[in-house]
Amino acid sequence: MKPYFFKNLDLLVLLALFCSVAGLWAFIEMADEVKEGQTQRIDEAIILLFRSAADTKDPIGPPWLEESMRDLTALGGVAVLTIATAAVAGFLILRRFWRLLLILIISSGGALALAVVLKSIFARPRPDLVEHLSYVHSSSFPSGHSMLSAAIYLTLAALLGRLVTQPRHKIYIMTVALFVTFAVGLSRIYMGVHYPSDVLAGWSAGAAWASICWLAARFFESRC
């Protein structure tokens, strides 16, 4: 039997513990602020920063920037995330990494279910002060795109990081995952479909969920 989990807290475990606790705390604090309406003014002010002062229907920047933001926001959509998850799952199946595959399924499926539950609980209306540049059909808090991209891309990065040995390779993989997650969240504000507080809450919840799943996997591996 491998040494007991909590007696061997390496740097990665400590970092994951910090991310899970910090993420949960940040989400709870953000949810409380949103419920009391304390973020509304700054939320609306930031959204308007991404629109022309003369016409709120017109996003700032040239046409190619708007098109790029549409492309980036799609990276956090269910369709793209499903394809990315399925592609990695197929690779894990080919390599017979059954434990990693189980982690991936639980993390991605659990994140989607959690996002749906949280949206139904808070039921925050979408921003209505600017025209939406992307189709939406659910409530606003937390941002599902931000939460799912954080949970799934960070989980994929953690799983792929276990398949490489060089520290710089691990750092590169995680950096790409963080950048994509950030870009997706920013695009949701630019598209006018989410308040910044929705995005921050989504990032917090997604990062916390990914960290918890990773810690759970590490714990059960140490007991085998």
Residues recognised as catalytic = 145, 194
| Torsion region of 61: left, alpha or beta (phi above 0 gives left; psi -120 to 50 gives alpha) | left
For residue 65, give Cα distances in angstroms to 60, 69, 191, 222.
8, 6, 11, 47
Q: How far apart are CA 192 and CA 111, in angstroms?
A: 23
Task: Summarize the chain as % helix, strand, coil (round to 5).
Answer: 70, 0, 25
- Write down how long the chain is: 224
Q: How far apart are CA 122 and CA 140, in angstroms?
A: 8
Buried b or exposed e, range 46-62, using 16+ CB within 10 angstroms: ebeebbeeeeeeebeee
Closest CA to 192 of 38, 34, 50: 50
